[in-house]
Amino acid sequence: MLEGKAVISDTDMLQTMQQDAIRLAAKALDIFDVIDTTEIACCVKKEFDRLYGFGWQCIVGTDFGSFVTHFHGCFIYFCIGSLAFLLFKGAAGPELEASRFASLDAVKA
């Protein structure tokens, strides 16, 4: 199993949630081919939704950028082999929504 080969880069999760994230990622890698990143992400996301409530997002790949807002205690970024995993429970407040639309307007101009 690949659990022991995980390297956590950043997290604010409790240790038990971190272990669940790594365990589920390793399990998904046992089930799916490493190139099936969408299936791997879907598997991890659905299991975290089941375990910790709805609203989880999962991104899996070898080259991606991100800028996300998350609930406190609900974020982890780790690698297993060449694959990076970003798992978080999304959050947004009214002030974030307003600034998002303002920045989109600037892009359109």
pTM given for the model: 0.81
Note the pLDDT tens digit of each residue in 34-82: 999 999 999 999 999 999 999 999 999 999 999 999 999 999 999 999 9
* Cα dist from 33 to 15, 17, 28, whole Å: 27, 24, 9
82-102 pLDDT, tens digit per residue, is 999 999 998 765 554 454 444
Does domain 6-106 fall under CATH 3.40.50.150? My reply is: no
| Residues 76 and 17 sit within 8 Å (Cβ to Cβ) | yes
